[in-house]
Structure 1
Amino acid sequence: MSRVLITGGAGFIGSNLADRLAGAGHEVVLMDTLARPGVERNLKWLLLRHRSRIRNLQTDVRDTAAVAAAVADVDAVFHLAAQVAVTTSLDDPREDFDINLGGTINVLEAARKRRTPVIFASTNKVYGDLADVGLELVDDAWTPTDRTLRAAGVDERRPLDFHTPYGCSKGAADQYVLDYARSFDVPACVLRMSCIYGPRQMGTEDQGWVAHFLIRALNDDPITLFGDGRQVRDILHVSNAVDAYVAALERIDQVRGRAFNLGGGPANAVSLRQLIAHMEGLIGHRADVRFEDWRAGDQRYFVADASAACTTLGLAAPTGWRDGVADLARWLQAEGGLVTAPQTVAA
């Protein structure tokens, strides 16, 4: 068994990944400042389940010395720590840059010394707003007019087009990870994620919107949709995302230097309005939905073609979105305190 580092390890995806790895017998070191509201409960949950295999370094990826010391003591790094919201990046682009790009450089420089494997959590925002994609309305959802794109989704050949400070910082970090694999032979790869959802997600209006919608609906609070609510995303259950991260590490020699889209694909493409209608059926009452203007950099349509990841990483078909959202609803109802979760994102 090995020792792995997960930056942002008490967060939503990080805690699910830590649980999987610790359950498989690995020693898991977390690096998390615990700044995001609610993540302390994820850490407590992990310690309760795996106390002997979980350790948290309550420090920041901007701390160069702390990152170097942590990476020197592990066999692999999952780099998930980030400033995660477009809105926050517009409010404070310097901090967004320092965390997302500066923090990634710290991880890569530490990994370069020992050629430690690095799996990086990137985003579909690297492809920009896809404003050039022709769309039409089908069943209350924006859908590509191009039949090939509609059937398969956006693949990795799509040109990069960074929008907003968040898109720039994550996109630049994405490219640095790939170049460290090329220039310095660091065994590293990138997973460009669509919308991940599931248990342990402390969703807010700015990030983690699937859980946020459910939290608001369960608490009889209004849900604000920015734009027309017909924007489409391919949502992926967190268990499927964890499968991909684990497989990427297991096959790092095969996938080093590559970037993969990771999402639910066309079978799990859903508009915000369609998702809310499904949620209303799950919770047994109508949601109070309100509308505001579009936000900067928002994509009316993004569905990932994740076939390269599925084939190369040997991934099973993802959980259907209706079953996955029902699973999240059950978890949120069981964790009743989450319905009072804060509605803003902390950096």
Structure 2
Amino acid sequence: MSQQDRNPRKAPVAVIGGSGFIGSNLADSLLSDGEPVLVIDNFSRSGVEQNLEWLAQKHGSRLSVETVDIRDGSSLASALAPAKAIFHLAAQTAVTTSLVDPAQDLDINLKGTFNVLEAARRMNAPVIFASTNKVYGSLPQIAVREADDRYEPEDEAIRANGVAETIGLDFCTPYGCSKGAADQYVLDYAKSYGLPTAVLRMSCIYGPRQFGTEDQGWVAHFLLSALDGRPITIYGDGKQVRDILHVSDAVAAYRGLLGRIEDLKGQAFNLGGGPHNAVSLRALLSEIAAMTGRDVTLRHDLQRTGDQPFFVADTRKIEAALGWRARVPWREGVCDLAEWLLRHRLQPRPETARYVA
């Protein structure tokens, strides 16, 4: 089915990985504005059924669901056929898992994305792809110095603005390679086939509907661990810095980019909280302890492969392109997530929390 054959008022927007954290928030935003949404997911992640149930109860018949694994190209193409646009957020998301099982990581992140692109090419449907700051590697070219509770770049421009898209790609770990290669495939389908595609290279997104695990979703996992009285393992000294972005701001960026996809196709944009929402692990843990009124028990282990001492996204490119900016200050956003987790958190899990940025 070509894009011209669809009735744009009835054709759904597909959210692949739509029962996950960012996907369910994105689906909710679209549905709340009257857009029909098709959620495609294999429901392999713990807790996502709760997100889907929430969407179904809130939005009813405007939501449709297909249980499909993106590694199954034929089933995926059939499921996507009615859609007028595609947000691709499904992925193997953990660096640690990619190191244990690189073949699975490759199949999901690269072959799965290829299947999405091939289906979209047949449909001539736009694709917005969720990439990662890991495509920039461990950033050894950015010299850092130690401050009181954090690392900060020696370079004044990076300190003020963050890391720009021009820093250059440098894949590290199987996860970085699979996501980075997928990132480049998405951009190339705009060059080679004229497909309206774009990439968002995300820093650390957090917020409601995030059930963090020891390997992914570290802001939520830190909060869950503090609320449940479980120790947290920090890999390294805890001075690593990330710019954290509330999911409502991430959703606004995804939707804004789709709205201007014809003008911005073939481009990659960094997406994060920027310098105003940059926080070290130590500072975040102190804030969580104060917020929850509970002491946080820490354990330390060696720094992990591919870790970035400092990553703060330079968001000036996406700000200029969309008029977008991060609106939720990090302390306010973390408080929002803590309140949501108190109401909705899953049963405590026995494992120790671990940091994966």
Q: Same fold (TM over 0.5)?
A: yes
Shift of 1:96: 0.3
Number of residue pairs matched by the alignment: 345
CA pair 330-297 structure 1, distance change in 2 beyond 3 A: same
CA distance in 1, matches of 2:257, 2:229: 40
**Corresponding residue for residue 173 of structure 2:** 164
Matched AA of 1:211? A
What is the letter of the counterpart of residue 325 of structure 2?
A
RMSD: 1.4
1:194 aligns with 2:194: no
Q: Which of these residues, 192, 199, 213, is aligned with residue 204 of structure 1?
A: 213
Match of 1:131 in 2: 140
**Which of 113, 120, 140 in structure 2 is aligned with 1:104?**
113
Any idea what SS the aligned residue of 1:203 has? coil
- Where structure 1 has 5 or more consecutive residues not aligned to the other structure, the ranges are none
Is 1:324 the counterpart of 2:333? The answer is yes
Query: CA–CA distance in 2 between the matches of 1:247 and 1:81?
Result: 20
The 2-side partners of 1:341 and 1:252 are apart by 44
**Structure 2 counterpart of 1:308, from 289, 301, 317:** 317
Runs of 4+ with deviation above 3 angstroms? 336-345
Q: Is the 8 A contact 2:211 2:346 kept in 1?
A: no
User: Aligned equivalents of 1:342 and 1:49: distance in 2?
Assistant: 33
- Indicate the residue corresponding to 1:259 in structure 2: 268
User: In the alignment, which of 116, 125, 131 is matched to residue 125 of structure 2?
Assistant: 116
Cα drift, residue 137 of structure 1? 1.2
* 2:182 aligned residue: 173
Alpha-carbon distance in 1 for matches of 2:323, 2:350 = 36
Counterpart selection for 1:279 from 273, 282, 288: 288
Which deviations, in whole Å up to 9, do the C-alpha atoms of 1:91-117 show, x marking residues without a partner?
100010000000000010111112110
Q: Please name the residue that 2:3 is paired with.
A: none
- 1:240 partner letter: D
State the secondary structure of the residue aligned to 2:87. strand
Other-structure match for 1:335: 344
Measured in 2, the distance between the counterparts of 1:126 and 1:338 equals 34
Tell me whether 1:14 sits opposite 2:20 in the alignment.
no
Q: How do residues 227-238 of structure 1 correspond to structure 2 at under 5 angstroms? A: 227-238=236-247
Q: Which runs of 5+ in 2 are unaligned?
A: 1-8
TM-score for the superposition, normalised by structure 1: 0.97
1:250 matched residue in structure 2: 259
2:6 aligns with none
Matched AA of 2:299: R
Give CA-to-partner distance per residue, 1:265-312, whole Å, 9 cap, x none: 011110001000001111012101111111111111100001111121
- Letter aligned with residue 141 of structure 1: R
TM-score w.r.t. the length of structure 2 is 0.94
Secondary structure, aligned partner of 1:305: coil
Cα distance 1:325–1:341, how it changes in 2: closer, same or farther (>3 A)?
Answer: farther
Conservation of the 8 A alpha-carbon contact between 1:204 and 1:343:
no
Give me the identity figure in percent: 56
Q: State the alpha-carbon separation in 1 of the partners of residues 308 and 197 from structure 2.
A: 28
Q: CA deviation at 1:205?
A: 1.4
Shift of 1:71: 2.3
Q: CA-to-partner distance for each residue in 1:27-47, whole Å, 9 max, x for gaps?
A: 111111111011110011110
Q: What is the alpha-carbon distance in structure 2 between the residues aligned to residue 17 and residue 263 of structure 1?
A: 16
Secondary structure, aligned partner of 1:230: coil
